[in-house]
Amino acid sequence: MSQINQSGWKPGTPMAAKDAGAHPTVTGNKALMLEEPLIFEIGDSDTYGVDLAETHTDLPSRMGDFARKSDIGLPGLSEPQTIRHYTRLSRQNYGIDLGLFPLGSCTMKHNPRLNEKVARMPGFLDVHPMQPIDTVQGALGVIDELAHWLIELTGMQSVAMSPKAGAHGELCGILCIRAALEARGDARKVVLVPESAHGTNPATAAFAGYTTEDIPANADGRVDLEALKARLGPDVAAVMITNPNTCGLFERDMKAISDAVHEAGGLVYCDGANFNAIMGRVRPGDLGVDAMHINLHKTFSTPHGGGGPGSGPVVLSEALAPFAPLPFVDKDADGNLHIVEEETVGEEHGSSFGRMTAFHGQMGMFTRALTYILSHGADGLRQAAGDAVLNANYVLRRLDDVLHAPFGASGPCMHEALFGDEGFAEGLSTLDLAKGLIDEGFHPMTMYFPLVVHGAMLIEPTETESKDGIDQFVMSMRSLAERAKEGDEALKTAPHHAPRARLDEAQAARKPRLVWTAQSE
């Protein structure tokens, strides 16, 4: 088999001579930053990483028509070649273990290694969802105890543990709301979503079959309460409010909003992905919320963003608890834990809207999140929220003289600081500044979101950054802001020091080329 090199690389030749700049190297490498071809280009089908025993070709195949008819075409590499390939690729990436990761709304905080140690204990690591129930009492105990903490921290009635990420949790909450409305014979069709809500909120409502309508933000970046009240009526099923919202601000009128929605016969969904900023300080249950998802992978430090799966438990009010999805963990009178499924569901949960997942949730995330909670304690969680808010306000005030802070005058922010591109020189944009940040050795912030701010830059430092680390980031940002305002042409072609410069991002997202096509001779 010979292969067409899709990256243009041929064995034994420099990888990227055309980018090598003024001092080209014969390898295409830049100092210790190594170039790397595709694995299909390094390996070939005649090489094996291991010695395979002779295959017994005389045995009859039981695959029938399903048996493979041609060569599978996987590249063969030795173990050191394989390890180097993936290690080189990993060095071209950026992660929370390398440095500050200011991606607003994503809560890229440090993932404590204690969590990893606990998640790798064999009783958790090797557990299978179909094991006999008396062999998994400890694992179910973790789910039950975590559920208890989430209920306590939010002041809600119950929690659905199975949703697998934030947006999945939103869908779970909206399906609970739909089931509750249908149960009272009230088929409302509209979900109101303020401009300050996360983008997943209207997507979720639409996915669940609702029509969504915008509610404008007021001049200080919060829901316009009067506009919301004016739109409420018998066709409104729910409002979905992100709190703290995507401008990094606390929705102070939350209780008044909930009261008005309830009075009009609707229900209140709160997007709680930003719970990191308020845990231990505010209980959504006290604000009249009916359903709220919590991102364990943000607030409770389980790895995410290419580093691991998410988990999005949904806390529910008394009005919605009976409609929670199956399966869930429950305790009998003797204290034994069991799993409630369709066959075993009793009267009190008979109105469940159905099932969102095959099993009862993300065990690895549950163990990590509970470890985080227990190692912090209630006071530690409260402190973490306070430190996250303090760090964000430090960033806001260290930058608001060089960058436009649209809501800077309306008081402190919560866990993230929001800036806009006002004052940038003609032809320079938020994207250019973000690319410049890569040259400075930082992952860019969240860009062009929220939509209410032109050229938005949303920066969330999180509580796990040191003051020194934030000061270094601030220094880079100040320099980049000045360059953007002065019209520094070099920013337009940044990054200059990264392995790759400006990729066609729209093309990469819309038409990713994920399949290697080998050409046989």
Residues that bind ligand PLP (CB under 6 A): 105-106, 165-167, 198, 200, 242, 271, 273-274, 295, 310, 312
* Structure tokens given for 421: 């591109």
* Structure tokens given for 197: 């809500």
Give the 3-state secondary structure of residue 286.
helix
Any idea what DSSP says for residue 30?
Answer: B
Question: Based on CB atoms, which residue is closest to ligand PLP, 106 or 143?
Answer: 106
Note the residue count of the chain: 521
CB of 356 to ligand PLP, least distance (A): 13
Question: Based on CB atoms, which residue is closest to ligand PLP, 271 or 432?
Answer: 271
3-state secondary structure string, 64-84?
HHHCCCCCCCCCECCHHHHHH
CB of 203 to ligand PLP, least distance (A): 10
CB of 168 to ligand PLP, least distance (A): 6
Question: Based on CB atoms, which residue is closest to ligand PLP, 292 or 373?
Answer: 292
Question: Based on CB atoms, which residue is closest to ligand PLP, 85 or 304?
Answer: 304
Which residues are CB-neighbours of 484 under 8 A, at least 6 positions away?
421, 424, 425, 428, 432, 433, 436, 491
Which residues are CB-neighbours of 362 under 8 A, at least 6 positions away?
164, 296, 309, 310, 311
Question: Based on CB atoms, which residue is closest to ligand PLP, 310 or 364?
Answer: 310
CB of 67 to ligand PLP, least distance (A): 40
CB of 461 to ligand PLP, least distance (A): 15
Give the 3-state secondary structure of residue 469.
helix
CB of 421 to ligand PLP, least distance (A): 22
CB of 222 to ligand PLP, least distance (A): 15
CA distances from 78 to 34, 48, 84, 201, 519 (A): 19, 6, 10, 47, 22
CB of 169 to ligand PLP, least distance (A): 7
Question: Based on CB atoms, which residue is closest to ligand PLP, 15 or 208?
Answer: 208
Question: Based on CB atoms, which residue is closest to ligand PLP, 271 or 465?
Answer: 271
Question: Based on CB atoms, which residue is closest to ligand PLP, 162 or 200?
Answer: 200
Question: Based on CB atoms, which residue is closest to ligand PLP, 274 or 301?
Answer: 274
- Taking alpha carbons only, the member of 466, 454, 387 closest to residue 421 is 454
Torsion of CA 376, 377, 381, 384, to 10 degrees: -40
Question: Based on CB atoms, which residue is closest to ligand PLP, 274 or 371?
Answer: 274
CB of 381 to ligand PLP, least distance (A): 18
CA distances from 475 to 222, 462, 470, 472 (A): 30, 18, 9, 5
Q: Beta strand 291-293 with 314-316: parallel, antiparallel or unpaired?
A: antiparallel
Which residues are CB-neighbours of 88 under 8 A, at least 6 positions away?
34, 35, 36
User: Which amino acid type is present at position 286?
Assistant: D
Tokens 């390094």 belong to residue: 42
Torsion of CA 405, 407, 410, 415, to 10 degrees: -90
Query: Closest-CB residue for ligand PLP?
Result: 166
Question: Based on CB atoms, which residue is closest to ligand PLP, 288 or 310?
Answer: 310
Tokens 């953007």 belong to residue: 484
CB of 306 to ligand PLP, least distance (A): 12
- Taking alpha carbons only, the member of 200, 210, 178, 181 closest to residue 272 is 200
CB of 267 to ligand PLP, least distance (A): 18
